[in-house]
Amino acid sequence: MRYGLNTFLYASPFTDAKAPGLLRKFAGWGFDTAEVAIEDPKHVNPRRLRDVADKAGIKIGSICAALGPGRDLRGTPAEQRTSMLYLTALVDQAAELGASHLIGPLYSVVGRAEAYDAKTKAAHWKSVVRNLRELADHAEARGVVLAIEPLNRFETDFLNTVEQGIALVRDIESPAAGLLLDTFHMNIEEKDQADAIRRAGRHLVHFHACGTDRGVPGDDHLDWPAIVAALRAIRYDGDVVIESFTPDVEVIAKAAAIWRSIVPHKDDIPKRGLAHLHKVFGKGTKRPSRRS
């Protein structure tokens, strides 16, 4: 098991200039991996970033996509083309970085949550499957896996539950497409998180451990022992990543509806969150990177 931290907690956008300080900080706290949110491929040079991570003593475990305005695989033809160019570039960067996964709600712009009739929903589904199947083919060739994340109903109407996620992955029909489950979103959409994890089974390729208020994992009402038991039951061996937000990063705070300070200091989230993960999962062991 490797433990990671998403860069959105501290930076938007994440850039080459911000990388050394942040990655050293993450490594110093004891994280094995960084989940790097790349909002524009031009913001980072993969070779330079890989070297920075190596020097800091941390791995780039995954790249987090940012599906903002204009990026929507169920949108207009222009939006779909823009999205595919962006996501394909991130797959290529992940391969250069030695990152195993491209993660996030890869299907649609975050915040698009509306009621559609059955015919429109079917057209959206067909469009997303077609595009993600093409992206998965490219990812497979580059040794990268897509980790597709269901979000809660307030952030998308397209993919909310583990059952919908499984259906999407099955329709994509690629070994390079799997599911990312997030405890924050599951707390809203799933009746039983442990059961949802078990149902995901072999389709689960990435996991976000977040507090129910987007704060510190463990400072909440979740049944963490049951979650851990479920992950062990399906023999999950991927990264467990803390993806939390604070009002300090204004763009992300607005997108995630973070209107108040959840912790006295944002460093409490990674420090106490990692301590909680070590307590419930164990210290874990670092797996060798693909470039070692």
**Contact yes or no for 9/241 (Cβ under 8 A):** no
- Token pair 């994992």 in the structure block, residue: 217
Which residue is catalytic, options 155, 189, 190, 243? 243
The token pair at 60 is 């780039």
The residues pairing with 65 across neighbouring beta strands, listed in sequence order, are 38
Q: Is 155 a catalytic residue?
A: no
The token pair at 184 is 């924050």
Q: Is 243 a catalytic residue?
A: yes
Q: Report cis status (omega within 30 of 0) of the bond before 150.
A: no
Separation between Cα atoms, residue 177 and residue 170, nearest integer Å: 9
Instruction: Please state the separation of Cα 42 from the chain's center in Å.
Output: 20
- Token pair 């990063």 in the structure block, residue: 249
Separation between Cα atoms, residue 168 and residue 203, nearest integer Å: 11
Q: Whose CA is closest to 263, among 223, 209, 208, 213? A: 213
Name the 3-class secondary structure at 172.
Answer: helix
Which residue is catalytic, options 149, 155, 189, 190? 149
Separation between Cα atoms, residue 292 and residue 272, nearest integer Å: 30
Catalytic residues: 149, 243
